[in-house]
Amino acid sequence: MSSEKTAIQPTRNQDFPEWYQQAVRAADLAENSPVRGCMVIKPWGYALWENIQKTLDKMLKETGHQNAYFPLFIPLRFMQKEAEHVEGFAKECAVVTHHRLEDSKDGLVPAGKLEEPLIIRPTSETIIGETFSKWIQSYRDLPLLINQWANVVRWEMRTRLFIRTTEFLWQEGHTAHATREEAWEETVSILNIYKRLSEEFMAVPVLTGEKSAAERFPGGESTLTIEAMMQDRKALQAGTSHFLGQNFAKAASIAFQNKSGQMDHVWTTSWGVTTRLIGGMVMVHGDDNGMVIPPKLAPSHVAILPIIKNQKDEGDILSYCDEIAGQIQKINYTGRSVEVVVDKRDMNAGEKSWGWIKKGIPITLEIGPRDMKNKAVFVSRRDKTRKERYSQDKTEFVSGLVNLLDEIQNNLYQKALDFQQANTHHLDDWKSFEEFFTPKNKEKPEIHGGFAHAHWCGSAQCEEKINASLSVSIRVVPSHGEPEKGTCIVCGSPSQGRVIFGKAY
C-alpha cells in the first residue's frame, strides 16, 4: 500500500490525527462550522447517525424504555443541588444570561437580563430528577425507564469532529428503581446493549468494565464503560452507563412509598452514547482511501456506476442498471431494504468511483457494455483492495447479496478484533510499561502503545502518577476479570487483579 497513491493524504501511518480529519471530510460525514467547536453533520454522516439511532432505539424500546423530552435549559440552582456534579460540569458550560437583543450605539447588544442564569444542558440528571420527583410517589410508579434523544453542550477547548465537539447529539437514559439491586441490574443491562450496538452493528469490538473513581461520572457511584481501540492504538470511551445510587434522588427529593408503606429514596441510573460513535467507526474501520462503513449501518449499501463509453449504449446501460437496482431494493437486510444508488451524475467515472470509496459504501458495481452483454456486474468490496474486484453473473450477485453484506460486516469486525488483540499485552514491570507507552519514533508519535493489562494497587496516587508521567489512564477495571494476585506496577504493593491501561481520546 505504501507505494500506491492513496485517496487520503496523509496516510494513517504518516499522521493519524490529520488522516482522521481528512477522512471525515472526504467521506462527507461532517465539517467544522463557523461556530467555535460546533460541527455541521452532513447528510451522509447524519444518515449514519439515524441508523445508529434506529438500531439503539429499537433495543431500548424492546427492553421497556420510553422516549420523552426535557428542557434544553437547566436553572443554575438545580445544577448546584449535587455538589460533585456541578463541580464536574461548571468549567465547561454555556450560560444564557439575557433573553433579547437591543439596539445600542455599538449595534445589537444582549438585553433583558435573566434573574437566574440558565445553563445549556451538559447532561440532564438534575432537570430530569426534578421532574421524576413529581412523577414518582409509590413503588407502583417504578421502575421508571426514560430515554431522551437530544443535543447537549460542553464547552470544550480542544475539539475534533465527532470525537469531542462543543455541541453534540446523544441519547441519555434516566431510570429510577425501588432497590439498589434493580438499579444495578439496569446499569449492567444497558452496558450489554451498548456492547451489542458496538460489536454487532458498528463492528467495533469493545472491552467492558468499571471505571476507576478518578474517571467516574461526577456525582455517581459507579460508571461502567465500553472502550474501543482505534487504529492509532488509543482508546475511545464509546459509551457509559452510570449507577448513581441515591445521590441524585436525595438531591432532587425523589422519594416513594415502598411496599411496606415506608418512604424511601429511589435508586437511579443514567447512560449515554453520542455522535462520537461515528468518529470511532472512522478510526476503527477507515483506511488510506477513506471511510469504510459496516453494512448494517450503511446509509446506502450498493452504488451502481454505469460506465458509458459510447453515447449509443447509454439508454440500454442505464435501464440495465435500473433493473438490477430494482431487484436489489426488494431484498431485506437486517430489517430494512438494501439501499442502492444508481449514480447517473454527469462526471468522470474515476472521480465518481473514488467518491464512493471515500464515503465507505460497502459495495460498488461498475457496469459497462461488456458487463451488460454478459448479464454480469463488476463488483468492488470496500473491505478488499481494488485488485480483488471481480465479475459475477448478475442473478448470482443478487441472490448472494445478503451473504456478501454479512461477510463484509463480519470481516470488518474480525479485522478490528485482530488488531485490538495484537495490540493488547500483559505487562508486569514499570520498565516495560513505560517502554510500551513511549513513542519509539518522534516523527510518528502515534504508533505505539495499545491496551496494557497490568497490576494496580487501587490507589488514586499510583493512578495519578501514571497519568502524569505517560498520559496513560485506567480504561477499564474488568468486571469479569479472573482474580490474579500480583504487585502494583508503580508502587509494588499487593494487587488483586489486573486493570487495563491505555492512552485515551
Q: Is 349 exposed, middle or buried (0-12, 13-18, 19+ CB in 10 A)?
A: middle
Say whether 18 sits in a helix, a strand or coil. Answer: helix
* Least distance in angstroms from the C-beta of 134 to a copy of itself: 8
Instruction: Tell me the sheet residues that pair with 332.
Output: 337
Figure out which of the listed residues 14, 21, 131, 212 binds a copy of itself, where binding follows CB under 8 A.
131
* Least distance in angstroms from the C-beta of 155 to a copy of itself: 4
Say whether 302 sits in a helix, a strand or coil. Answer: strand
- Segment contacting a copy of itself (CB under 8 A): 99-107, 190-198, 446-454, 495-503? 99-107
- Segment contacting a copy of itself (CB under 8 A): 14-22, 97-105, 175-183, 397-405? 97-105
Residues between 15 and 54 with contacts to a copy of itself, criterion CB under 8 A:
33-35, 38-43, 46-47, 49-50
Residue 421, CA distances (Å) to 22, 231, 233, 427, 450 in order: 27, 12, 11, 14, 9
Is there a contact between 325 and 63 (Cβ–Cβ < 8 Å)?
A: no
Which three cell numbers, joined as nine digits, stand for 280? Answer: 470511532
Using rule CB under 8 A, residue 261 touches a copy of itself: no
Using rule CB under 8 A, residue 336 touches a copy of itself: no
Which three cell numbers, joined as nine digits, stand for 480? Answer: 469479569
The amino acid occupying position 196 is R
* Least distance in angstroms from the C-beta of 293 to a copy of itself: 16
Is there a contact between 267 and 182 (Cβ–Cβ < 8 Å)?
A: yes
- Segment contacting a copy of itself (CB under 8 A): 149-157, 202-210, 231-239, 459-467? 149-157
Figure out which of the listed residues 99, 336, 373, 431 binds a copy of itself, where binding follows CB under 8 A.
99
* Least distance in angstroms from the C-beta of 116 to a copy of itself: 9
Figure out which of the listed residues 58, 98, 336, 373 binds a copy of itself, where binding follows CB under 8 A.
98
- Among residues 199, 224, 193, the alpha carbon closest in space to that of 61 is found at 193
Figure out which of the listed residues 9, 64, 84, 97 binds a copy of itself, where binding follows CB under 8 A.
97
In this structure, what DSSP letter does residue 14 have?
Answer: T
Nearer to a copy of itself, 39 or 490 (CB): 39
Using rule CB under 8 A, residue 92 touches a copy of itself: yes
Nearer to a copy of itself, 169 or 490 (CB): 169
Residues between 71 and 90 with contacts to a copy of itself, criterion CB under 8 A:
71-76, 78-80, 86, 90
Residues between 103 and 122 with contacts to a copy of itself, criterion CB under 8 A:
107-110, 112, 117-120
Which three cell numbers, joined as nine digits, stand for 104? Answer: 445600542
Distance of CA 423 to the CA centre of its chain: 21
Residues across the chain: 505
Nearer to a copy of itself, 38 or 349 (CB): 38
Nearer to a copy of itself, 151 or 374 (CB): 151
Backbone angles phi, psi at 48, to 5 degrees: -65, -45
Nearer to a copy of itself, 12 or 301 (CB): 301
- Among residues 306, 293, 230, the alpha carbon closest in space to that of 504 is found at 230
